[in-house]
Amino acid sequence: MAKQSKGKNLAWLRYVLLIVVAFFMLYPVLWLIGSSFKPNNSEIFTSISFIPTKFDFTPYIQGWKTNTEFTFLTYFINTFKIVVPRILFVVISSAVTAYGFSRFNFPGKKIFFAILISTLFLPGVVTQVPMYLLWSKLGFLDTYVPLVSSSLFAQNTFYVFMLIQFMRGIPRDLDEVAVIDGCGPFKRFYYIILPLLRPSLIAVALFEFMGAIGDFMGPLIYISSVDKYPVSLALKMAVDTTSSSANWNQILAMSIISLIPSLIIFFTAQKYFVEGISTSGMKG
């Protein structure tokens, strides 16, 4: 009985400790949500409490209207004009590239793969100036083309590497059976590899979604028209207002709204995301 009582006490202690740690981890999110309902900046920055003295929905109404001729809906639509093509192109190009490296032998395969992996060590900032000059010469500045085009060519090496690792866990016997049935390379890819690859493809799509929807530097470099701004630039524009002080409650309110699509998609596809990450390290 004493051992059981001691075990229960330890269990309660662990639960209390976990709750305290969870609270401190979630406090910034709770503060963000609570501060978005506070009526003025003084209450936001003079109190550490995340519970407002009075719930004010005005920041959401005024924040949605914005200080421009466009509503926040315009910036949301612009964001998805970038995000949706990027996800689609990244998933297709990464899967095709990974299929080539994992299932075929060709001259220079090891060298090309080494070059591919070495790009992981190349900082993205190194390519920004030459890429800007290239798109400037081609006349695509202030368009979404520079933000989307790179996803057509499997530029993110991490996704390719993750899919290659997953494909190595798929038995080659399935390919051989498909060959006997008369399936060519594309049919094998479409009917065998892709269905088995679904968890990792969803993980890639989620990674790209999170990266694309939160991308700030890319739109800042290439987009100059306010009517083409995505959410990230719209929020920064609100901070850089010409008034004496920014309306932080409105900025926080729109920040919360901009997080909603990410939260919905992540928790909806969480099962596939975890499965895709956990199985991408399998070896054949």
Q: Note the pLDDT tens digit of each residue in 83-133.
A: 999 999 999 999 999 998 988 888 888 899 888 888 888 887 888 888 999
Q: What pTM value is reported for the model?
A: 0.81
Confidence class of residue 2 from pLDDT cuts 50, 70 and 90?
A: low
CA distance 153 to 158: 13
Q: Among 222, 212, 214, 216, which Cα is nearest to 131's?
A: 222
CA distance 150 to 156: 9
CA distance 118 to 131: 19
Q: Which tokens is 110 given?
A: 């090891």
3 state DSSP class of 156: coil
Amino acid at 107: P
Q: Among 218, 210, 221, which Cα is nearest to 265's?
A: 210
3 state DSSP class of 125: helix
Which pLDDT score, from 0 to 100, does residue 242 have?
A: 52
- Give me the mean pLDDT over the 183-207 stretch: 86
Please report which helix (H) or strand (E) contains residue 134, including its range: helix 128-138
Largest CA distance in the chain: 80
- Rounded to an integer, what is the distance from CA 212 to the centroid of its chain? 6
Q: Which tokens is 155 given?
A: 């530029």
On average, the pLDDT of the chain sits at 84
